[in-house]
Amino acid sequence: MSEYVSLYEAIGGAPAVRSLVEKFYPKVQADPLLSPLFPEDITPVMEKQYLFLTQFFGGPPLYSEQYGHPMMRARHLPFPVTPKRAEAWLSCMARALAETEIPESLQSVVLERLSGPAHHFINSED
């Protein structure tokens, strides 16, 4: 009998998610399309992203325990998320993933899993 392993466990659990978030946000802050959407103090955003990705990848429901149901589309509505911004976000994530210890085969799974929501949050034209 095989035991189900979540994506969270497969990529390396909490240390892997933390590493990904820490590599991701400097890229977001340097991106001309994305940086205007984020506060100067990115620390609270990074912590929320860590909690969310932990849960999103099948780990403990840390985000829901602290903030309730994620409702990510609704939480992103105040920000002009354009197709180009969604692609820029995914590009930053791909580059961050490439700098982690996460195996390449799982990096593509992570990116694919994030691609749906990134495009779902689009609420403005370019």
* CA proximity to 16, closest of 57, 48, 45, 67: 57
* CA proximity to 110, closest of 26, 54, 71: 54
CA distances from 82 to 58, 85, 122 (A): 28, 5, 5
**What CATH number belongs to 11-120?**
1.10.490.10
- pLDDT averaged per 10 residues in sequence order, the chain, 126 residues: 85 98 98 96 97 98 96 91 98 98 96 96 95
List the domain boundaries for the chain: 11-120
Query: Rounded to the nearest 5°, which phi and psi values hold at 60?
Result: -60, 150
